[in-house]
Amino acid sequence: MRKTEDLNPYKIALEQLDEAAKKIDLDKNLHEKLKYPKRTLIVSIPIYMDDGTVRVFEGYRVQHSLERGPAKGGVRYHPDVTLDEVKALAMWMTWKCAVVNIPFGGAKGGVVCDPAAMTERELERLTRRYTSEIGIIIGPEKDIPAPDVNTNPKIMSWMMDTYSMNKGYSVPGVVTGKPLDIGGSKGRLHATGKGVAAVTEDILSQKGISVSGATAAIQGFGNVGSWTARFLYDKGCRITGITDISGGVFDPKGIDVPKLIEYTSGKKIPSLEGYPESEFEKNPEEANRRLIGSEVDVLIPAALESQITSRNAEMIKASVIVEAANGPTTPNASNILEKRGVTVIPDILANAGGVTVSYFEWVQDLQSNFWKEKDIDASLIDIMKTAFKDVSDISRSEKVDMRMAAYMLAVGRVAKAAKLRGLYP
Ligand code: GLU
């Protein structure tokens, strides 16, 4: 019987760090330090539910590294959130910020809850109490939260307001991904998708394939999946499959992405369910199986971790995988894909567009000076293309895959900062 794979994200993150450390011959003391989060805060979040009863939720904020600047990373609301997942996501944020060379360390937050089963007022109370509880370690110069899975600009407004109320003055720079009217940045909402589309175009062109006329399949249709689909569609790419938790939409002739976005966003809780213009597969497992095995040029996981594992890596027919989600491919699956000649653009490069524009938002907030959308988009593309080239160059010169190349670059940069600063005391 085949040994089942360990899907613990923190163990996976440590394994990835170990591999990169070996390759760059990382000093073993620095390696030891980078294995652990700098700070881990676990909070209880008691709130009144709308029926008058009190429920206590568990929340986390983990700061992995502050070597290169304040910690940065989103907050996710999901029933399956675990501390080990948040620790892994925080470490991945450290590497992501280093790959695109922005002056941040890595952090992540999470609350174990099911936002789909909560009212807006309950979500607001949860967000405000969570923000207040983690208020002792966040701040524009310390750690700056942002949206992630199931969190959005509205939730960022409540976080910004709560932190500001506790301080007694407005502190827009405490979170990014806010609405424009309270210090948000133009271009932030679509930034991750724009970056994913840019690196997809780059890797396809490296393989001699033009994005216009290429085919793609996308797992997930939240902020990242839907904007990625939109940008690729606008570049002429044919998207033949898109899934979410309700099922999947399939169309060999290409899905009309703007129409699909209009359909999903018209619902109270956005979902693909029942989309009438293309074939809708209502069994989510079957939809996912079909999507992963799609005959396409590019497969884009844009949902959660550990979606591509040793169980389904052999089924993949795409020649390129672009990881829009964080941690979607397990190390075992990565090995299988490498042997099969599938190119994987790793998460810490592919989805770094979001945190890049978060960095622009933070700078704009600190200076109270707001930029034009075209300048933001141009700077984002410039950063993504530079990072893509840096990683491809290492991949070529060191004869390693793109994930290892990205890790070598990122871990090397963080280790350099840690070495320069030295170990206190
Ligand atoms: N949650 C996003 C990510 O995983 C964005 C983080 C940020 O903007 O700080 O990259």
CATH number, position 53:
3.40.50.10860
d(CA 369, CA 96): 26
Nearest ligand 1 atom to the CA of 144 is 9
401 belongs to a structural domain? no
Contact 362, 175 (CB under 8 A): no
Catalytic positions, written as ranges? 108
Whether residue 343 is found in the same domain as residue 197:
yes
Q: Give mean pLDDT, residues 340-362.
A: 98
Whether residue 162 is found in the same domain as residue 241:
no
Instruction: Judge whether residue 255 has pLDDT over 50.
Output: yes
DSSP letter (8 states) at residue 306: S
Q: What's the gap in Å between 175 CA and the centre of ligand 1? A: 11
Nearest ligand 1 atom to the CA of 72 is 9
d(CA 300, CA 394): 23
Instruction: Work out the angle between the directed axes of helices 9-24 and 331-339 (0-180°, nearest 10).
Output: 50
Whether residue 89 is found in the same domain as residue 221:
no
26 belongs to a structural domain? no
Name the residue of 76, 148, 364 to mutate for ligand 1: max ligand atoms within 8 A of Cβ: 148
As for how many domains the chain has, the answer is: 2
375 belongs to a structural domain? no
Whether residue 318 is found in the same domain as residue 217:
yes
Q: What's the gap in Å between 73 CA and the centre of ligand 1? A: 5
Measured on CA atoms in the order 135, 140, 143, 144, is the torsion positive or negative?
positive
Whether residue 53 is found in the same domain as residue 163:
yes
Whether residue 43 is found in the same domain as residue 146:
yes
d(CA 263, CA 284): 19
**At 216, is the secondary structure helix, strand, or coil?**
strand
CATH number, position 274:
3.40.50.720
Give the mean pLDDT of the chain.
Answer: 97
Residue that terminates a domain, selected from 350, 376, 394: 350
The Cα-based distances of 250 to 48, 243, 244, 280, 301 in angstroms read 42, 9, 12, 6, 16
Residue whose CA lies nearest to ligand 1 atom number 8? 355
Q: What's the gap in Å between 72 CA and the centre of ligand 1? A: 7
Nearest ligand 1 atom to the CA of 148 is 1
pLDDT tens for each residue of 266-322: 888 899 999 999 999 999 999 999 999 999 999 999 999 999 999 999 999 999 999
Whether residue 228 is found in the same domain as residue 306:
yes
d(CA 14, CA 36): 9
Nearest ligand 1 atom to the CA of 351 is 10
Whether residue 176 is found in the same domain as residue 228:
no
Type and span of the H or E element at 231: helix 223-234
Task: Count the neighbouring beta carbons within 10 Å of the beta carbon of residue 205.
Answer: 12
236 belongs to a structural domain? yes
5 belongs to a structural domain? no
327 belongs to a structural domain? yes
Instruction: Judge whether residue 4 has pLDDT over 90.
Output: no
19 belongs to a structural domain? no
Question: Which residues lie with the beta carbon below 6 Å from any ligand 1 atom?
Answer: 72-74, 146, 148, 176, 326, 351, 354-355, 358
Residue 43: closest CA among 148, 138, 115, 124: 138
Q: What's the gap in Å between 30 CA and the centre of ligand 1? A: 25
Residue that terminates a domain, selected from 334, 350, 366: 350
Whether residue 229 is found in the same domain as residue 87:
no
What percentage of the chain exceeds 90 in pLDDT? 98
Contact 339, 319 (CB under 8 A): no
Contact 137, 41 (CB under 8 A): yes
Q: What is the structure's pLDDT at 269?
A: 85
Contact 175, 144 (CB under 8 A): yes
155 belongs to a structural domain? yes
Whether residue 337 is found in the same domain as residue 298:
yes
Residue that terminates a domain, selected from 350, 367, 398: 350
Type and span of the H or E element at 358: helix 353-367
Q: What's the gap in Å between 74 CA and the centre of ligand 1? A: 5
Contact 379, 191 (CB under 8 A): no
d(CA 52, CA 39): 34
d(CA 344, CA 322): 6
Name the residue of 92, 192, 305, 348 to mutate for ligand 1: max ligand atoms within 8 A of Cβ: 192
Q: How confident is the model at residue 30 (pLDDT cuts 50, 70, 90)?
A: very high
Q: Give mean pLDDT, residues 319-336.
A: 98
Whether residue 236 is found in the same domain as residue 158:
no
Residue with tokens 């992630």: 148
Q: What is the structure's pLDDT at 3?
A: 61
Name the residue of 62, 93, 159, 175 to mutate for ligand 1: max ligand atoms within 8 A of Cβ: 93
Q: What is the structure's pLDDT at 1?
A: 42
Q: What's the gap in Å between 350 CA and the centre of ligand 1? A: 12
CA 257 to chain CA centroid, nearest Å: 21
Instruction: Judge whether residue 377 has pLDDT over 50.
Output: yes
d(CA 409, CA 101): 10
Residue range(s) defining the domain that contains residue 145: 34-180
The beta strand positions in 113-181, using DSSP E, are 143-147
Whether residue 136 is found in the same domain as residue 230:
no
pLDDT tens for each residue of 171-189: 999 999 999 999 999 999 9
